[in-house]
Amino acid sequence: MAKQFDTVVKGGTIYTATDTYVADIGIKGEKITAIGMNLQAAGADVINARDLQVIPGGIDPHVHLQLPFCGTVSSDDFYTGTRAAACGGVTTVLDFAGQGTHDNLMAGIEARMKEARDKVVIDYSLHTMVTGFKKLKNPLKEFQRLMEFGVASHKMFMIYEREGWNATDDDIFGAMLAAQEVGATLCMHAESEKVMNYLVGMALKKNLGAYGHVVSRPNFIEEEAIQRAIKWASATGAHLYVVHMSTGGGAQLFKEAQAKGINVHVETCPQYLVLNDEVFKDKKTGHYYATCPQIKKKEDCERMWKGLQDGEVAVVSTDTCTFTTKQKAMWNGDFTRIPFGMPGVETLLPSVYSFGVRGGKFSLNHFVSLIATNPAKIMGMYPQKGTIMVGSDADLSIIDPDESRIIDYKKLASNCDWSPFQGWKLYGFPKFTLSRGTVLVRNGKFDEKAGRKGRGRFVKRGPFGWRNLSRPWYVPDHKPQVPAELFGEGAKSDNSGRKRAAVGV
Ligand code: URP
Ligand code: ZN
Ligand code: ZN
């Protein structure tokens, strides 16, 4: 009998965001080509998935691999970071391409792709980092060109003046006008820098150690910035996606904005769900936990779990930005100098699975929506990624629901000598991870040969994904508020017009 499939996943329970059923999955080449009962497995690599949970491979839309930041470079590079991702059941990551000193964004994308190309083990895509909006000659053309290339999202920062990354309100407004014209997404790091710096100045006088990081960033620092970003999204009609949200108040703002039909989405990360700011009080290790924004209070964790349950928080990403204890030691007692970030991509699925699904907060289907389907839709990769469907890439994570691990950083694949979850018992690690049909993790072990460096591919994304979200309140029915008189040929998002206005012409 002729071989029909290269791989057959036999008898597992398939969980998508909407369905649960027992079936075989037939894979030919890189794609799922059949789903059904008793698929013909002659000559195929058969994965016995009986009593196992078969879910789409995780999508982490927010990682920073080998990022030059805070005077050092994040320690997981495109190889160790994507290998760690596969070990944790993640099959696609989205990283960021800095603008640097360029007057365009494409140069950064090309440079970042060069860094990633020979190292990535799983598929990846890139957001730009718009750190010099005023330098862009024609943002609309720039976003259009990037959209055609498959880059559908751009990150802006309301902080990081020291890094030269921060965007002012007029930058954000101009970028949103251009983004909404081409259907691009504006990703936003929302923290209120000026007020935060004022508080940092006050905290520096108090000798609080790493806890100074906490008191200089009270919740209103994030909430005010989120409110402002939502306001500009509402005015321009742009699709806003706030990254790494850490506050309960932020979740409330999203609930209210979405109820009005404003086109906004938000992600949070495991560190904001399962850790709280007590971690900073440990004199020896407190500074390891410094991220930006920082970890907040228990009440914030609870409100964000509720947001995930109810839907206003649509995605759990990680903001992986790994720094070793040696790199963290660079702070030398000054909380403003701690390299901000932590490892995470490898423990994304296990942490959300353990506390969300096993913790009784939501179903495994809902879990799938948070870690695969929603990020795929929002970031314009659906249904190539983010679901189990005939025609989709054969990206799968297969979990034994009864199997747990005690986290020990020495046994994790991440290039890091600590873990925020050290000693914790976590469920939800993959027994098998498949990336475009290739079995990268088999019986819990990474296959070095199959998972060769550079096998991962750049995923071209499109503008349409977010329109497909199934919840009715995500359908953008909100009318932008920029006066119609200002619209017309070249008037919306051409920086030259802005310059003229600035000099009063
Ligand atoms: O602590 C963090 N988040 N490091 C990475 C940079 C960023 O703002 O995402
Ligand atoms: Zn950020
Ligand atoms: Zn980040």
pLDDT in tens, 463-472: 855 444 444 3
**C-alpha of 132 from chain center:** 22
Question: Residue 294 CA: which ligand is closest?
Answer: 1
**For position 489, what pLDDT does the model report?**
52
Residue 292 Cβ < 6 Å to ligand 1: yes
Residue 153's nearest CA partner among 464, 492, 494, 473 is 464
The minimum-distance atom of ligand 1 relative to the CA of 340 is 1
Would you give the end-to-end CA distance of the chain in angstroms?
78
CA distance 172 to 177: 9
Residue 129 Cβ < 6 Å to ligand 1: no
Q: Contact 190/158 with Cβ under 8 angstroms? A: yes
CA distance 482 to 411: 54
Average pLDDT over residues 131-144: 95
Average pLDDT over residues 192-200: 97
Distance 53 CA to ligand 1 centre (A): 32
| CATH 3.20.20.140 at 57-386+459-474, yes or no | yes
CA distance 128 to 155: 6
Predicted structure pTM score: 0.95
Residue 84's nearest CA partner among 390, 388, 364, 322 is 322
**What is the residue with the minimal CA distance to atom 9 of ligand 1?**
319
**For position 180, what pLDDT does the model report?**
87
Residue 317's nearest CA partner among 468, 162, 153, 118 is 153
Residue 272 parent element (H or E): helix 271-274
Instruction: Supply the Cα-derived Rg of the chain in whole angstroms.
Output: 22
**What is the residue with the minimal CA distance to atom 8 of ligand 1?**
292
pLDDT at 348 over 80: yes
pLDDT in tens, 226-272: 999 999 999 998 999 999 999 999 999 999 999 888 889 999 999 99
For a pocket test of ligand 1, which of 74, 161, 340 has the largest count of ligand atoms closer than 8 A to its C-beta? Answer: 340
> At a CB cut-off of 8 Å and minimum separation 6, what does 427 contact?
350, 353, 354, 358, 399, 401, 403, 404
- Within 10 Å of residue 243's Cβ, how many Cβ atoms? 22
Residue 186 Cβ < 6 Å to ligand 1: no
Average pLDDT over residues 120-130: 98
Residue 340 Cβ < 6 Å to ligand 1: yes
**For position 471, what pLDDT does the model report?**
40
pLDDT in tens, 359-413: 999 999 999 999 999 999 999 999 999 999 999 999 999 999 999 999 999 999 9
CA distance 461 to 481: 28
Distance 158 CA to ligand 3 centre (A): 13
Which pLDDT band holds residue 58 (cuts at 50, 70, 90)? Answer: very high
**For position 478, what pLDDT does the model report?**
65
pLDDT in tens, 95-121: 999 999 999 999 999 999 999 999 999
**What is the residue with the minimal CA distance to atom 7 of ligand 1?**
292
The pLDDT > 70 percentage for the chain reads: 93
Residue 493 Cβ < 6 Å to ligand 1: no
CA distances from 491 to 135, 198, 500 (A): 18, 37, 12
Residue 381 Cβ < 6 Å to ligand 1: no
What residues form DSSP beta bridges with 383? none
What is the dihedral angle through the alpha carbons of 283, 287, 289, 295, rounded to the nearest 10 degrees?
A: 90
DSSP for 133-153 reads: GGG-S-HHHHHHHHHHHT--E
pLDDT at 492 over 80: no
Distance 293 CA to ligand 2 centre (A): 7
Residue 341 Cβ < 6 Å to ligand 1: yes
What residues form DSSP beta bridges with 34? 26
Q: Contact 212/493 with Cβ under 8 angstroms? A: no
pLDDT at 495 over 70: no
**What is the residue with the minimal CA distance to atom 3 of ligand 1?**
292
The minimum-distance atom of ligand 1 relative to the CA of 243 is 9
CA distance 160 to 55: 37
CA distances from 286 to 86, 193, 325, 328 (A): 29, 23, 11, 10
Amino acid (1-letter code) at residue 125: S
Distance 33 CA to ligand 2 centre (A): 38
**For position 465, what pLDDT does the model report?**
52
Mean pLDDT over each residue of the chain, to the nearest integer = 93
Domain ranges of the chain: 57-386+459-474
Distance 28 CA to ligand 2 centre (A): 39
35, burial (CB in 10 Å: exposed 0-12, middle 13-18, buried 19+): middle
For 481-497, b/e burial (b = at least 16 CB within 10 A) is: eeeeeeeeeeebbbbee
Task: Give me the numbers of helices (H) and strands (E) for the chain, helices first please.
Answer: 15, 21
The pLDDT > 90 percentage for the chain reads: 89
